[in-house]
Amino acid sequence: MEQGSEEWHKARLGKVTSSRFKDCLNSGKGFTQTNLSYIYELVAENLTGESKQISGRPLDHGNEWEAYAREYIELARGVKIDEVGFIPWDEDARIGGSPDGVIGIETVIELKCPYNSGVHCKTLISGEMPAEHMAQVQGNMWITGADNAIFGSFDPRIDDRNNLVIIDVPRDADYILNLIEKVAAVADEVERLTEQALVRASGSILIAT
C-alpha cells in the first residue's frame, strides 16, 4: 500500500492516525476544542466516506523531497529503509499510523522537509526534534512496537553539510502510556458519535416515510 494512494486514503478514512495524535492530547479530563474539532472531522469522514484533503505548497514541497531525505539517511547511516503503508493498531483498525519508513522491526523513520527553512535551521542549531512531532514519533513506535525512531529534517536549499539533521529518539514508555489513553478516548468518542448520528439518520428516514 503506497502512501498517498487511493487505497491508503481509504484505509485511513475515519481513523485516528499518528500524524494527528497531537490533536488528541489534553492536560486533563474531557475534550479540548482541538480534540473536538478532530473528533467531528473523523465523524464526518465516516458519514460521508470522504477524507479531508490537505493541499498547498508546503505539503507539495514535503512530498517532493521526502524520498531524497530517505536516501540521504540510508547513505549516512548505512541502512536500508523500507517504505510502509497504513499500519492499524487495534483489530477494528480505529487507530493506526503511517511511518515514513522502517528499519526492520526495531526502528521507525519520521521525515520532515520544512517549506520554511527557518524551521530546519532551528532543528539544526538546537539538535532537538521539534516538540510538535513528539506525539507522532512516539505514536508510531507504539503502533509498530519499535524501540527506536530516527527523526530527519531535510532542506535541499541549504549546503550539503547542513541540509540534513538526523536525531535518534528512544521509546518513552511513560509518554506512550499517556498517549494510548488520550488516543483511545478520541477513538471511542468518534465511534460513539458516528453510531449516534447513524441512529438519528435512520429515525429521520422512518419519520419521513
Taking only the tens place, the pLDDT of each residue in 129-164 is 999 999 999 999 999 999 999 999 999 999 989 999
Residue 207 pLDDT exceeds 50:
no
Say which CATH architecture domain 6-208 belongs to: Alpha-Beta Complex (3.90)
> Domain locations in the chain?
6-208
Q: What cell was used for 104? A: 526492520
Q: Residue 186: name the closest of 16, 10, 2, 18 by CA.
A: 16
Q: Indicate the average pLDDT of the chain.
A: 90
C-alpha cell at 28: 486533563
* Residue 147, helix vs strand vs coil: coil
* Cα–Cα distance, 16 to 85 (Å, whole number): 15
CB atoms within 10 A of CB 183: 26
The larger pLDDT score, comparing residue 154 to residue 92, is at 154
pLDDT digits (tens, 9 = 90+) for 8-24: 889 899 999 999 999 99
* Per-residue model confidence (pLDDT) at position 39: 97
Query: What kind and span of H or E run contains 148?
Result: strand 148-154
Q: What is the pLDDT of residue 208?
A: 44
Q: How many CB atoms neighbour CB 116 within 10 A?
A: 11
Nearest CA to 123 among 73, 166, 62? 166
For residue 1, pLDDT over 80 is answered with: no
